[in-house]
Structure 1
Amino acid sequence: MAGGKMSARQKMINLMYLVFIAMLALNMSKEVLSAFGFMNEKLVENNASTTLKNNSAYENLATKASEQAAKFAPLKVQADKIKKTSAELYAYIEELKGTLTAGIEDKQAYESMDKTAVLDELFFKGNKFTPEGQEFIDKVDTYRNSVITTLGPNSKFVPVLEGRFSTKDVEIQGTNKTNKWLKARYEGFPLIASITNLTQMQADVKNTESDIVADLLGGKLEEALSLTNYKGIVALDKNAYFAGEKVTGKIVLGRYDATMVPDNVTLNGKDYKNIQSGQVIIDMPSGNIGNHDIKGKIAFTQNGEIVEVPFESSYSVIPEPSTAVVSADKMNVVYRGLSNPISVSLPGVSDNNLRVSATGGSLSGGRGKYIIKPGAGNTAVINVSATLSSGKTVNSKSTFRIKDIPAAMGSVRNQYGTVRMPKSGLANSPISAGLPDFEFDLKISVQSFKIKVPGELTIIVNGTTLSAAAKKVLSKARRGDIINIYDIKATANGYNLKKVLPVNIELTN
């Protein structure tokens, strides 16, 4: 169209053709802008889901570290550093996105987010970067280098991190030239495309956390499944025996896997054949009064080779007991307002021959299993007496501290803390309370609560669901508002709870 001498009519046709192409491009651009917006929404939802999954993994690792510090505590230190570093970059990007969209009233009007000026002016000044642009590069570099330092230079995640969070110059396709990473990825792009690009980087952060924590846990669990890490466990029916009794119990592997039957067992220097369902059943004379060892090896065939797993334990043969053994079934205290289970036993004496009483609370039950309901004091005492087969009377007592039920937590849809949900969901969801880490099964009933909507008066609600007045103030809340449910009054098994922690609801629409 550009060559040769053209008539006025041909020029007009060419102009109309160019206008037509521009119109098509404009329509396509709107569709692409919307597509970027919808993609950004999906990424935001995925990031929220991955955050929940990551939090669960961190909690799982924390639990394992508290239970098996030697194995998991160093991994938790690594995970905590990665979690902190990731949270800092994620929060920075979220703040940056807020800055870019601060002047946009409707955050979902994607077709209007076609301008490039907002980000270009924030990051670029001529051919150079603004302080904000350089800060963005530095944040990404700091995150990548910090995680690599935490994991070590030989980690298999180093190539992943260097790929996902690279800020190296980018080769211009079809040429031998390069362009700065920030310019290649963000300069001249529609605003919604850059927002989506930033959300994708947040997704990379969350996925990196997920991959690393899963690998930290998986590596140790895979290591634990190796036969070389098994340990023989001697599980005796009792820890001490009277003279003349037989020592009874089991020798098992750490996983108690009944499908793993040993090839042979050596017990105290001799071959032992009493093996049932992967367990070595102990049945032998106890011996004289004093300490006795039980040790040997369990042999398995693994990959054509014999693997021997050693075991070792000891037991004591003692004279007849002179004191009873009393222990709380679930904790070292008893709780006011609850039926606390107590087990009472005396070696060598049957449960029905024990005489059990209590001070500081009411006691019920029998045959070794009792329930104590504490009174108003600070201690409860369990008194035990029995007559041994020798005719000797044994008296013993154990003291327990009495404590109030700990503070419960308010909840919505069985979720605690800050819960994200739509306004309609809150309007129709009952307010509950629970003690997620408490050993007792409690029936907690909410009697009343207060609800505070930003900018509105606090409403007192009787019952568990929002009243008409509460729903009215809730209707004035906007997306992103934090609704506070507090001063929750509740009872547990008929006992008035002294404190119930609040629950906050972040509105999603």
Structure 2
Amino acid sequence: MAGGKLSARQKMINLMYLVFIAMMAMNMSKEVLSAFGLMDAKFADANEMATVTNENLLGGLKSKAEEKPNEFAVAANKAQQISKVSENFFKYLEKVKREGIIEKGKYEIDPKTGMYPFEAMDKTDILDELWFTGDRLTKEGDISGEAFMAAVKKYKQDIKDIIGEDVKYIPAIENLESRFNVTDVTNNEGKSIPWLDYHFKGFPAIASYTKLTAMQNDVKATETNMYNVFLGNTLDEAVSLKNYEAIVIADKSAFFAGEKFQGKVVLGKYANVTPTKLVVGGKEVNLTNAIDENGAARLDFTVGNVGEHEIKGQFTFLEDGKELPIEINGNYVVVPRPNSATISADKMNVVYRGVVNPMTISFAGVPDNKVNASAPGLRKVGDGKYEMQPGAGSEVTISVNATLDDGSVVPDRKTYRIKDIPKPTGSLIGKSGVMKLPRRNVEIGSIDAQLEDFDFDLPIQVTSFSVKVPGQPTVNVVGTKLDAAAKAALGRARRGDAVQILNIQAKIVGNNTYRLKEVAPIIVELTD
């Protein structure tokens, strides 16, 4: 968050506080508060281990000073001074935690867990009242806002004064500046905010408590770094958590909307160690381009079909002259690649009675063999392909059940209106409705029936019809063409007469059970 080059550990801490800020915008769950408490416990454990390590390093310096005073006497003296000022500042931070947070918040250790009640430490006004008054820092008391900032700055200056101007200590001073950088912070909106406000104002008590414990860890890490510099070691903050990152490991690499996220968060670091062999899925991977500068192996392979898949393999490293195999176990989930938009006209969800309605039914991210669709008149004909032949009624509901990888079943359903095949229209020589034709065309023409503007190509056959000539009795005809009686009646018609072809009866070829609606009649005005 602060300016300058940040260490990996500081980035982790800053990221943690970004999470804190986001959490303030919502009701913070007990689990999140508890997680902060557990992070504090990890820092506290690290501080205890660092204390032991630092005591050993300091003891080693004293021993070397006795053995080789010309080389180590000055360094041992500086180390003891650093130990003293670090201990004083560490205790001061502990006092702020105890008096400024624990006592003011009236928090007590739970005798069952031996820890403070992290889930109850959600107050945001404890340090706010102690350190801030309006736009200024409080002045009264040795743990006021101004006193705290002065203590941080004093610790840095004390260390610098002890180290002196020797150029070989410049890297150590840079690390010190990075750890305790209290300059103003520029937020995402470009506004400059005082360091104390940015890191502590408005945060829950447990968040501030954890931040102070992290600062104590910085103190221990500073000691460790300085002692190693004095000893001539190249190790930098070996016991500090700054080299670690919070790594999220999901149980699988894809989840469905609404599904519970399952995984874990661990502290870890990347090992820049080149393996001697890498096998994934039974195939050896070429290490030349697969390993990056952090020692991470990049995987590049074509994924399988829709569903959950495993990644299995093995890293092989060389340790103490022997091969050390490390198993690789992971998984990933393949969901269908989107290649079209889902567009639905809600009023057009219709299936027709008397025809086979083709349908495609699938469930995003679920393979076809784990999708089950059912409805009256529905049958499966292929992968995701179905045919619907609705029966009686005005609606039909299709129910779909999808079985996810964890065995849970997700249901869905959709209702369609059932409509009859629309009323056919009679036609003569390809024309329908009212038309003008010569008498001869009527005599030899075939009477047909058509479904105009219908999405299904249904073969319809006319079985009978009637011919009505003005002034003549109606003649009933079986078939599709005028018979002798109909032609005789037509022969007595006069030019301009309107001859009606009505009562047209038709059926769907191959379907004798469905009864079509009455066919619209034809009216022909004779032109001769």
TM-score category of the 2 structures, normalised to the smaller one: 0.3 to 0.5
Higher relative contact order (CA 8 A, sep 6+): 2
| Higher CA-based Rg | 2
More strand, by proportion:
1
TM-score normalized with structure 2 length: 0.36
TM-score normalized with structure 1 length: 0.37
